[in-house]
Amino acid sequence: MSKYRILVADQAEAIFYDAATLTGAPSEVGRISDPLARLHDRDLATDRPGRSYESVGGARHAVQREETPRRTEAVRFARRIARRLDDARRKDEFDRLVVVAGPPFLGLVRQQLSGPTRALVAREIPKDLVHSAPEVLAQRLAAISNP
């Protein structure tokens, strides 16, 4: 019988659950949060964007960053989550992984997972359930196990 680790996450919080089956009640085994994720870009980076001259003429304009500070922080948090899952995998704490997160953050987490951990992903649920009751998570898990 497989032991499931269920990750429920958004850009600011991650909750880890264990369950023997997807139809059983999950029990919380850990939680991490990122207080910086709730800040605005202006609070994360105080410098104004640089200025540049136009290639033709003397006009100046602001140079836009390719990635916002908030996205950088979200990637950092997704990396932290992936490291925690890798550690748990190496300790044989789970056999299968279910990742529950809103679509944008789900993609970030997926990118940060190592190959061996990614191979254990049984299901992905593109839904933000971090602030939902555990019963809602249990209903979603039961629904995906009995399509």
Structural domain includes residue 86: yes
Question: Residue 8: pLDDT above 70?
Answer: yes
Structural domain includes residue 14: yes
Structural domain includes residue 128: yes
66-81: per-residue pLDDT in tens? 567 778 888 999 999 9
Domains of the chain: total: 1
Segment 24-52 shows an average pLDDT of: 68
Structural domain includes residue 114: yes
Segment 13-30 shows an average pLDDT of: 92
Closest among 131, 99, 133, 113 to 12, alpha carbons compared = 131
The CATH code of the domain that includes 17 is: 3.30.420.60
- Report the alpha-carbon distance of residue 68 to residue 40 in Å, rounded: 10
Q: Phi/psi of residue 121, each to 5°?
A: -70, 115
Structural domain span for residue 90: 4-38+68-145
Structural domain includes residue 57: no
Structural domain includes residue 100: yes
Structural domain includes residue 22: yes
Amino acid identity of residue 16, one-letter, is F
83-125: per-residue pLDDT in tens? 999 999 999 999 999 999 999 999 999 999 999 999 999 999 9
Amino acid identity of residue 91, one-letter, is K
Segment 14-21 shows an average pLDDT of: 94
Segment 31-41 shows an average pLDDT of: 71
**Percent of the chain's residues with pLDDT above 90:** 60
The answer to whether 29 and 16 have CB atoms below 8 angstroms apart is yes
Structural domain includes residue 109: yes
